[in-house]
Amino acid sequence: MSTPPDTQPQIACRLLAWAKQHLRDLPWRHTRDPYHIWVAEVMLQQTQASTVAPFFTRWLAQFPTIEALATAPIDQVLKAWEGLGYYARARHLHQAAQCILSEHEGRLPADRDQLLALPGIGPYTAGAILSIAFGQDEPVLDGNVRRVLCRVFNITTDPRRASTQRRLWELARSLLPPGRAGDFNQAIMDLGATICTPRSPLCPQCPLMDLCEAAHLGVQEQRPVSRPRRRIPHYDVTAAIIWRDGQVLITQRPLEDMLGGLWEFPGGKREPGETLADCLKREIREELGVEIIVGKPLPPIRHAYSHFRITLYPFHCQIQRGEPQALGCAAWRWVTPDQFDRYAFPAADQRIIAYLRERGAPRPHQEDRDA
C-alpha cells in the first residue's frame, strides 16, 4: 500500500480532532509560558508523563522563573531532580538558565539556532518550545512520534540511521497543519504514548487506522525495525559507609561524569581478580587518599542503568590512616544520617540510606572487621 497524496492533510485533521477529546490533561498543557514548556519537555525526555507531573509542579514552585533557576546552587537543582534520573538534564537546564540570563535577558529566545546553542537543547526540545510556546510551524521527533511515523508510513529502515532520521524529520514537517503545529505535535506525541504504544498498539481505537500502512499489512509490532539487542554488561561495584563519631563520609561525583554533581557513598567498580574488600580499599585510596578498614557488609543492591547493570556491595568502614582529600571526587563532607536529606543521591545510594535509617549505625565492633 502506498500513501495516497491526500493522506498527509487527513492525518493532521484526524489527529487534531482526536486530540480535542483525548489529549491528556497534564499540568504543562495549561500554559504557553516558554520556560514552563522547556522544563516539561526536558523532564519528559526518557520519563513518563505521569511520573513527570508532580516533579514539574514542585520544580516551578521552587524555581518559578529562569532567573530563580539560574541563581540557585547546583546542589539545590540536583536535589529537586532527585528521583527523575538522567541528571545531565538537570545540569544542562541549570547551565542553560545561566546562559539565558546573561545572554538573552532572562527570556528563552524564539529562534531555532539560538535555542540549539543552549546546553541540553537539541532539535526535539527546540521544536517543542518553538511550536508549543511560540506558535511556530516546527516539527518534533521523539520516540513516540518516530514510532507513529514508522508505522503509518511503514518505514522499513532502522530509524537510528542518519538517512532514516532525515526522512522522519521531513515527514514530521510535511504533516504540520500551518498555524497549528503546537497542537499537532502534542496530539501525535500523545497518540504514541497512549494508543500507538510500543507493544500491543490499540489500532481499533486509533484515528489513523485506515491510513496506516503497517496496520494494513499487519506488521505494526515490527515497526520501527530494531537492531538485535546487545547484551547488557553487568558490573560489581563497592561502596564504603565510612563512620567517624556518628558521622558518615559522603563524596560528590565530578560534574562531568555520569550522575555528575550528585553525592554518594564513595567506592567504585571491581577489577578482574579483586576481592570486594581490596576493590574498596583501592577505590578509597584513589578517590580520597586514605586507608580504610573494611567492616561488616550491608545487603547487596541490584540496580539497572540504561546501558548497564550493577550489583552494589556496601560495607561499613572506618578510616585507618590519613585525612580525606578530593583526589577523585569534586568534594567530600562528614554528615550525620539525618543530614542526608540535604543532598541529592543516586537511586542505588538512596537504598543504602533507607537501610541505614532502618537499622541505624553499626555497633563499634561491626565497623572494623575486614571483609
* Residues with a known catalytic role: 41
The DSSP line for 190-241 is HHHHHTS-SSS--GGG-TTGGG-HHHHHT-GGG-S--PPPPPPPEEEEEEEE
C-alpha cell at 83: 528521583
Binding flag, residue 19, ligand SF4 (CB under 6 A):
no
Nearer to ligand SF4, 74 or 209 (CB): 209
Nearer to ligand SF4, 141 or 152 (CB): 152
C-alpha cell at 225: 525495525
User: Taking phi first (over 0 means left), then psi (-120 to 50 degrees means alpha), and beta for anything else, what does residue 226 get?
Assistant: beta
Q: How far is it, in rounded angstroms, from Cα 199 to Cα 15?
A: 21
Q: How far is it, in rounded angstroms, from Cα 207 to Cα 195?
A: 10
- Cα angle 199, 201, 206 (rounded to 5 degrees) comes to 165
Binding flag, residue 284, ligand SF4 (CB under 6 A):
no
Binding flag, residue 117, ligand SF4 (CB under 6 A):
no
- Residue in this structure with the C-alpha cell 532502522, named with its chain if needed: 158
Nearer to ligand SF4, 8 or 311 (CB): 8
The DSSP line for 70-123 is HTS-HHHHHHHHTTS--THHHHHHHHHHHHHHHHSTTS--S-HHHHHTSTT--H
Find the Cα–Cα–Cα–Cα dihedral 75, 79, 81, 83, rounded to 10°.
140
Nearer to ligand SF4, 37 or 208 (CB): 208
Beta bridge partners of 309: 234, 304
Binding flag, residue 154, ligand SF4 (CB under 6 A):
no
Judged by CB under 6 A, which stretch of 163-171, 206-214, 295-303, 361-369 contacts ligand SF4? Answer: 206-214
Binding flag, residue 208, ligand SF4 (CB under 6 A):
yes
Nearer to ligand SF4, 148 or 310 (CB): 148
Binding flag, residue 152, ligand SF4 (CB under 6 A):
yes
Judged by CB under 6 A, which stretch of 87-95, 123-131, 207-215, 308-316 contacts ligand SF4? Answer: 207-215
Binding flag, residue 214, ligand SF4 (CB under 6 A):
yes
Q: How far is it, in rounded angstroms, from Cα 276 to Cα 310?
A: 14
Least Å distance between CB 356 and ligand SF4? Answer: 47
Binding flag, residue 203, ligand SF4 (CB under 6 A):
yes
Nearer to ligand SF4, 201 or 266 (CB): 201
Find the Cα–Cα–Cα–Cα dihedral 49, 203, 220, 305, rounded to 10°.
20
Least Å distance between CB 149 and ligand SF4? Answer: 9
Least Å distance between CB 163 and ligand SF4? Answer: 22
Q: How far is it, in rounded angstroms, from Cα 126 to Cα 118?
A: 10
User: Inter-axis angle of helices 88-103 and 74-81, to 10 degrees?
Assistant: 130
Nearer to ligand SF4, 200 or 306 (CB): 200
Are 213 and 169 in contact by the 8 Å Cβ rule? The answer is: no
**Residue ranges in 178-197 that form contacts with ligand SF4 under rule CB under 6 A:** 195-196
Instruction: Give yes or no for a cis peptide into 198 (omega within 30° of 0).
Output: no
Number of residues counted as binding ligand SF4 (CB under 6 A) = 14
Binding flag, residue 140, ligand SF4 (CB under 6 A):
no
Binding flag, residue 164, ligand SF4 (CB under 6 A):
no
Binding flag, residue 352, ligand SF4 (CB under 6 A):
no
Judged by CB under 6 A, which stretch of 81-89, 171-179, 213-221, 300-308 contacts ligand SF4? Answer: 213-221
Residues 52, 148, 276, 280: which binds ligand SF4 (CB under 6 A)?
Answer: 148
Binding flag, residue 220, ligand SF4 (CB under 6 A):
yes
Least Å distance between CB 144 and ligand SF4? Answer: 10
Least Å distance between CB 128 and ligand SF4? Answer: 21
Residues of this chain that interact with ligand SF4 (CB under 6 A) are 148, 151-152, 195-196, 201, 203, 206, 208-209, 212, 214-215, 220
